[in-house]
C-alpha cells in the first residue's frame, strides 16, 4: 500500500516538474518573442524616422534648387533664410567669364561625378532596399555643396523681366508651391525618392515612375498632371526666370540643360511627347527677349546690347536643339510595342513615363 502511494507521489512530482519546466520554457519563448517584436518595432520606427529625415532633406534641396535657379531668395529675403544656399547665387561675383569658368567647372565635378557613378542599381548592391534612397541623399548633398560654393557672373545683364516685381515674386512662389504640392501628392514620388523600397511599400502606384526618371523632370510631369499645360508653361517658362538674367545665368542654364538632355532619358521622352508645348515655352521666352531688346534700344539705343541678346538667345536655342537631336536613337521594337499598347488615358495622365512599366527596369 505504502509502495503504491509512494509511486503515485513520485509520478506527481515528476509531472509537476515537467509542467514547471514546460511553463518556464514557454515563458522564456514568450519573452524572446516579445523581445524580437520590440526590436522589430523599434527598428521599424528608427527606419521610418531615418527615411523621413533623409527625404525631407532631399526635398528641401530639390525645392531650394528651383528657387536658386530663379534667384528667389534674393527677391524674397524672408524666404531665402529658409532655403539652401540662401536661395540664390550669393557668393562674391566673378569679374570675367574666364574667372567664372575657372571657379565653377571644377566645382561642377563635385556633383556630376557622384551623380553619375553612384547609380541606384550600384547602391543597391551595398545598401539593399535603401539603395535608391542613398543615391538621392548623395545627389542632394553634392548638389547642396555646389549651390553653396557656386560663383556667379552678374554682368552683363542679358534681360530684365518686364513684370512688376511683386507680381513676379508672387508668380515664382506660387508656381513653386504648386509644383511642390503636385510632386508630394503623387504616390509614385515615393518610389522615385526611394521611400517605397526603404520602408516596404507595395503596389504599382508606389513604384518608381520610369527607368531613368530624374526629380526635376518628374516635378514637371506632376505639375502637368495636376494643373495641365498652362501650369507647366507658367512653372517652367516664366516663374523660374530671374528678375535680371545675367550672362552667368545663361551659361549655367545652357550647361545644365545640355547635361539634362544628355543624361536623362525620361526628359528626352517627355520633350518628345509635349513637343508643341515645349516649342510654345520657347516662343514665350522669345517674346520676353524681344521686350529686352526693345528696352535696350530705348534711350541711347544700345544696338550692340540688343545684338548680343539676339546672338546669345539664338546660340542657346541652336545648342539645345542640337543636343536633343543627337540623343534620339531608334527605340527597340519592344519599347514601341509597349508604348502602343499603353492606354490613351494612361498616356494623358503621365506623358513622360509611359514607355516602360517593367518594375525590374525602373531603377
Tens digit of pLDDT for each residue in 153-181? 988 777 777 788 899 999 999 999 999 99
Give the largest Cα separation in the chain, rounded: 132
CA distance 58 to 67: 14
pLDDT at 201 (0 to 100): 87
- The answer to whether 146 touches 68, Cβ cutoff 8 Å, is no
Distance CA 246, CA 23 (A): 80
CA distances 137 to 26, 52, 111, 151, 168, Å, are 45, 12, 12, 24, 32
310/307 Cα distance (integer angstroms):
5
Asked if 192 and 209 touch (Cβ cutoff 8 Å), the reply is yes
Beta strands in 106-210 (DSSP E): 157-160
Beta carbons of 69 and 76 less than 8 angstroms apart: no
| Each residue's pLDDT tens digit, 288-335 | 766 666 665 565 555 666 666 666 566 656 655 555 555 555 444 444
Contact 96, 154 (CB under 8 A): no
What is the pLDDT at residue 325? Answer: 57
Say yes or no to pLDDT of 276 above 50. yes
d(CA 170, CA 243): 12
Sketch the domain layout of the chain as residue ranges.
22-361
What pLDDT shows up at residue 211?
A: 76
Q: Is 152 exposed, middle or buried (0-12, 13-18, 19+ CB in 10 A)?
A: buried
Q: Count of CB atoms within 10 A of residue 105's CB?
A: 10
246: helix, strand or coil: strand
Q: Out of 23-27, 192-196, 282-286, which region has the weakest mean confidence (pLDDT)?
A: 23-27
Confidence of residue 342 (pLDDT cuts 50, 70, 90): very low
Alpha helix stretches (DSSP H) within 70-130: 72-75, 77-80, 97-117, 120-127
Q: Answer whether residue 44 shows pLDDT above 70.
A: yes
Cell numbers found for residue 120: 541606384
Amino acid at each position: 500500500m505504502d509502495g503504491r502511494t509512494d509511486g503515485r507521489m513520485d509520478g506527481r512530482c515528476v509531472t509537476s516538474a515537467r509542467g514547471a519546466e514546460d511553463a518556464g520554457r514557454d515563458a522564456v519563448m514568450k519573452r524572446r518573442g516579445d523581445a524580437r517584436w520590440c526590436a522589430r518595432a523599434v527598428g521599424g520606427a528608427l527606419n521610418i524616422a531615418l527615411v523621413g529625415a533623409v527625404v525631407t532633406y532631399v526635398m528641401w534641396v530639390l525645392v531650394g534648387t528651383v528657387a536658386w535657379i530663379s534667384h528667389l531668395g534674393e527677391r524674397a529675403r524672408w524666404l531665402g533664410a529658409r532655403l539652401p544656399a540662401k536661395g540664390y547665387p550669393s557668393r562674391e561675383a566673378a569679374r570675367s567669364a574666364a574667372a567664372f569658368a575657372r571657379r565653377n567647372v571644377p566645382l561642377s565635378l563635385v556633383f556630376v561625378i557622384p551623380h553619375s557613378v553612384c547609380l541606384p542599381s550600384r547602391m543597391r548592391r551595398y545598401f539593399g532596399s535603401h539603395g535608391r534612397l542613398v543615391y538621392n541623399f548623395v545627389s542632394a548633398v553634392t548638389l547642396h555643396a555646389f549651390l553653396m560654393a557656386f560663383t556667379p557672373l552678374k554682368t552683363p545683364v542679358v534681360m530684365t523681366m518686364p513684370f512688376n516685381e511683386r507680381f513676379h515674386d508672387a508668380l515664382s512662389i506660387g508656381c513653386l508651391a504648386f509644383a511642390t504640392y503636385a510632386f508630394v501628392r503623387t504616390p509614385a514620388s515615393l518610389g522615385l525618392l526611394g521611400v517605397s523600397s526603404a520602408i516596404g511599400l507595395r503596389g504599382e502606384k508606389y513604384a518608381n515612375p520610369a527607368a531613368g526618371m530624374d526629380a526635376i523632370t518628374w516635378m514637371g510631369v506632376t505639375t502637368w498632371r495636376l494643373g495641365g499645360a498652362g501650369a507647366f508653361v507658367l512653372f517652367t517658362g516664366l516663374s523660374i526666370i530671374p528678375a535680371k538674367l545675367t550672362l552667368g545665368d545663361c551659361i549655367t542654364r545652357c550647361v545644365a540643360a545640355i547635361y539634362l538632355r544628355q543624361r536623362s532619358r525620361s526628359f528626352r521622352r517627355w520633350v518628345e511627347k509635349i513637343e508643341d508645348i515645349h516649342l510654345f515655352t520657347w516662343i514665350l521666352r522669345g517674346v520676353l527677349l524681344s521686350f529686352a531688346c526693345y528696352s535696350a534700344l530705348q534711350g541711347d539705343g544700345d544696338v550692340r546690347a540688343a545684338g548680343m541678346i539676339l546672338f546669345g538667345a539664338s546660340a542657346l536655342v541652336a545648342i539645345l536643339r542640337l543636343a536633343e537631336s543627337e540623343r534620339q536613337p531608334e527605340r527597340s521594337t519592344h519599347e514601341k510595342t509597349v508604348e502602343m499598347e499603353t492606354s490613351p488615358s494612361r498616356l494623358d495622365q503621365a506623358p513622360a513615363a509611359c514607355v516602360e512599366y517593367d518594375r525590374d527596369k525602373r531603377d
